[in-house]
Structure 1
Amino acid sequence: MDIKEWFPEFQVSAETDTELQSYFFQLPEVRQITGSRSWLVLGRKGMGKTAIYEHLKVSPSHSLDGFETICVNFRDYPWPAHQLYKDSLAGELSAYQKSWRYLFFVKAISKLVEIKEQNSEKLSKELKWAKEYIEKIYGNPDPSLTEVIFSKIARIKKIGGPGVDVEDLSFDVGEVSFDDVADDKNLQSKLRSNAFTLLGYFESIYKANCGSIKILIALDQLDENWLQGEIEEYSKVLINLVNTCRSISLDPQLSGHLKVVPFLRTDIYHSLRFNDKNKLLQDSAVVISWDTESLDNMFFERVKKFAPIEFGIDKDKKSGNLFEFTYARQGTPAIKYITRRSFFRPRDIIVYFNKIRDCHEKNKSGLYSSSELYEADRDASASVYNEIIDEWSNQFPEIESLLSVLQTIKVETFSYRDFTEKHAAEFSNVPEGDRRKHIEFLFDNSIVGQKKQGRWEYVCSAPNLKMNIEQEFRTHHALKYRLHLIESRPNQAV
């Protein structure tokens, strides 16, 4: 049986891969999220943040250290609407914190009620009140992000606390839209006043009624739908989010009962400016990282899932089971050949194997050949290039021009002087400080690397690598074919 008949092409995005959980590779980061005090997940785009998020979404609580999960996706989140909840009387680093807490405690109370009802537990008088308020205000016992933000809350005349009959809750006539509130300062004031009044009630009710129940709120795709020109303001929103999650983690009444876990791109986190950022990184962050062995294990789970019984898997070979050869060029196993042409991200590996499959022709062995491994290199290189553009086009719009600089250098290995000459042609009248920042950006994101102990290394495989402007650089091999680079000029040493 030929390999194409039983081994499929895989979805690259975790959220669209309906089979993901059947071959999900259990990362140690999952145990850190649920079994430690850590509450922030960081990773570069394509590192598997969404795969972990999807795993948390479907896993039973007994496999997550007892946590019940609420998974909130911000792909379609109306970021401008969040600004309507900005507390103008608060400082910059706390202006959005109440609005985040409001969102979290609406979701947490909804989940708490759901869990208790599923367990046939009698709701306290306070929880009954909260349940009725949620259903009437948001129109849903488990309101979505949009329902929370665009609820009738700006039209509520007065909010009575627990003990006040929900029938006494009255609304002004009509619904409100984003534009209505954005154009009306009185409505904005009422929106905030009502939301934050509810926050106070919901938070105290949660603390008094959570008992032994543990809830984890996971937040994914927080970098989606950012509008160019609004990034500075969105960054303030995220700083407030991080500080809110930290304050919840430090609250002794919530510790062990509520954990809010944002999944953030590493570069976005590093771009934020607030006190104790590095301390928080050390104390509370889970940073996703991979090496050749863990990537091999990750892909082997897929092999085990789809290999027919008669195939006869060799557990020691792992993903090597897919190839008719043991070693590629220079005695390199196939998986190592592939990871050297990646940024050590699961997405890169999945794409490369998909490209090998595209190249495959039926043969006697029924497996992938070495020529197919090499042929896939070209298409995989184009894919990596496109991923870089997609990753950085919003936060760093100069990225395409910087890749053009590397392409016009024409060779993989180059000096800073080479870079300076081609950079000046692409970026006119740019000061030296900005040119240095550009090469540092390329270096920090593994697009270029340098030699360490006689071997070309990149930050993705050697996180402690430090840039030396006096040493030669090398464009990552993953980009070689897409940028049409040659190894070296005739008079240049390899």
Structure 2
Amino acid sequence: MDVKQWLPEFQVSAESDTHLQSYFLQRPEVDKIINGTSWLVLGRKGVGKTAIYEYLKNSQPTKLNNYNTICINFNDYPWPAHNLYKESLAGELSAYQKSWKYLFYIKALAKLIEIKQTKNEPLNKELKWALKYLNEVYGNPDPTLTEVIISKIIRISKIKGPGVDTDEIDLDMGEISFEDIPENAQLKQKLRSNAFSLLSYFETIFQNNSGQHKIIIALDQLDENWLSGEIEEYSKVLINLLNVCRNISQDFKVNKNLKIITFLRSDIYNSLKFNDKNKLLQDRSVTISWDNDSLDEMFYERIKKYAPKNFDLGESSGQKTSCLFEAKFVRQGTPVFKYVTRRSFFRPRDVIVYLNKVRENHRTNSSGLYTTPELYDADHDASASVYNELIDEWSNQFPEIDDLLSVLQLIQVESFTYDDFVNKHSSIFSCNSPSKAQEHLYFLFNNSIIGQKKQGRWEYVCSTPELKLNIEREFRTHHALKYRLQLLESRPNQNI
């Protein structure tokens, strides 16, 4: 049977991959999250943060150290709502942190009530009070993210605590837009006096009633839909999110029952400025990283899942993913899969795209396997895909990315010197200066778009994290971009 008949095209998006759990989650990061003290998951775009998020979302508690999960996707999150809280409440720090805690405890309490009802456990007076308020304020016992943040809570004219009859809820049923609050002093006062009174009630009720029940709240795609002009404000929001997560993880009253898992891009975390940032990085974070062997193992699990019984998986020779190809070694004696990963940023997404391009190029043959020409032909389309991924990755946080890639294209050859870069940089950037050129060079280097030689081989930060930039040595544009940027191979004494 031909390989294209039994091996499907792999899904680039973790959300679309229905078989993700069967081959992805043999990762050490998962164990540290579920069984350890880590709660901050860092990684570059495309390395698998959302894949872990999807695993948490779709797994039963028995696979998650008995944690029940609440997964919140921020793809369509109304970030400006935080500004409204800040403008409506006294104190920026208080507003941001309370808005996050408010979200977490509403969702955690709604989940706790759901768990108890599913298990036919009776609700005591406190939980009945909380359920009544959730239904009255939001119209349902488990409000959505948007419903919590931009809520009808300002319609509460008087809050009665859980010690009173749950039927005595006094609401002002007038329809008021949340956006009206900053312009209305009376509404501001009502929000200050009422909005987060519920927070203290909900927090206490959760602590009193969680018992042996354990809940994880996972937050993904916090980097989505950021506007470049709002990054400074969003950074404040994220810093306060991390502080709330840390405070919950250190609170002995609640940390055995509630854990907030935050998935965040490494570059965004590195840009934040707050106390104990490095300590948090060392003590409570996991950074997702891949190498040739771990990527090979993951894709081999995919192959084994679909391979027919009579297919030679190459287990005796340790070929793994290379078993899909006729030749096991290609140019310069490079193993096939290593040839692929050297044309990636060591991200699963890059490798998925490359193997899918090989599949597109494949034509049925006598061996039923992919051929070396098909591997080489995939280089061009895969290069365009990596280029587009870089634009998508950085267009918000670093809008200069288009022009920087144009600088590399103007250089025309793969290998170049610092002077070559500065020369072409000046033709693209009107505000050119040596310091700006060097800043851009470091950006390209730190994100593996360019690399340098180490022990005679061209290396990049994605494959060699300890690699340090040396401005006096030659640089090389990553081979993954060679065809999209139409670069020639370097030649000795070539004038650029």
User: Do both share a fold (TM > 0.5)?
Assistant: yes
The CA distance in 2 between the partners of 1:48 and 1:383, in whole Å, is: 17
Aligned with 2:349 (options 347, 350, 357): 347
The CA distance in 1 between the partners of 2:482 and 2:189, in whole Å, is: 56
In structure 2, the partner of 1:400 is 402
Cα displacement (A) at 1:491: 2.6
* Corresponding letter in the other structure for 1:119: K
Q: Aligned pair count?
A: 493
The CA distance in 2 between the partners of 1:370 and 1:185, in whole Å, is: 71
Q: Is this contact kept in 2: 1:25–1:297, CA < 8 A?
A: no
Distance 1:120 1:65, change over 3 A: same
Matched residue of 2:140: which SS? Answer: coil
1:41 partnered with 2:41: yes
The CA distance in 2 between the partners of 1:182 and 1:53, in whole Å, is: 35
Show the 5 A alignment for 1:164-243. 164-243=164-243
In structure 2, the partner of 1:320 is 322
* Corresponding letter in the other structure for 2:314: D
Q: Is this contact kept in 1: 2:86–2:92, CA < 8 A?
A: no
Q: Is this contact kept in 2: 1:449–1:459, CA < 8 A?
A: yes
Show the 5 A alignment for 1:9-48. 9-48=9-48
Cα displacement (A) at 1:241: 0.3
Show the 5 A alignment for 1:40-119. 40-86=40-86, 92-119=92-119
Cα displacement (A) at 1:185: 4.1
1:121-158, Cα deviation, whole Å (9 max, x unpaired): 12221111111111111111111101112322011101
1:447-483, Cα deviation, whole Å (9 max, x unpaired): 0111112211111011111111111111111101110
The CA distance in 1 between the partners of 2:467 and 2:225, in whole Å, is: 33
1:280-336, Cα deviation, whole Å (9 max, x unpaired): 101110100100011011111211122122324333322112111111111111110
The CA distance in 1 between the partners of 2:88 and 2:278, in whole Å, is: 28
* Corresponding letter in the other structure for 1:398: E
Cα displacement (A) at 1:32: 0.4
Matched residue of 1:308: which SS? Answer: coil
Q: Is this contact kept in 1: 2:89–2:188, CA < 8 A?
A: no
Show the 5 A alignment for 1:242-261. 242-261=242-261
1:489 partnered with 2:491: yes
Matched residue of 1:260: which SS? Answer: strand
Matched residue of 1:428: which SS? Answer: coil
* Corresponding letter in the other structure for 1:313: L
Q: Is this contact kept in 1: 2:383–2:483, CA < 8 A?
A: yes
The CA distance in 2 between the partners of 1:415 and 1:378, in whole Å, is: 25
Q: What percent of counterpart residues are identical?
A: 66
Cα displacement (A) at 1:255: 2.0
Q: Is this contact kept in 1: 2:25–2:52, CA < 8 A?
A: no
The CA distance in 2 between the partners of 1:213 and 1:330, in whole Å, is: 57
The CA distance in 2 between the partners of 1:306 and 1:134, in whole Å, is: 46
**Structure 1, unpaired ranges of 5+:** none
* Corresponding letter in the other structure for 1:378: H
* Corresponding letter in the other structure for 1:339: T
* Corresponding letter in the other structure for 1:248: I
Moved more, 257-266 or 312-321: 312-321
Q: Is this contact kept in 1: 2:88–2:188, CA < 8 A?
A: no
In structure 2, the partner of 1:435 is 437
TM score, norm. by length of structure 1: 0.96
| Cα RMSD, aligned residues only | 1.6
1:281 partnered with 2:281: yes
In structure 2, the partner of 1:357 is 359
The CA distance in 2 between the partners of 1:207 and 1:294, in whole Å, is: 41
**Structure 2, unpaired ranges of 5+:** none
Distance 1:148 1:308, change over 3 A: same
The CA distance in 2 between the partners of 1:362 and 1:193, in whole Å, is: 71
Matched residue of 1:69: which SS? Answer: strand
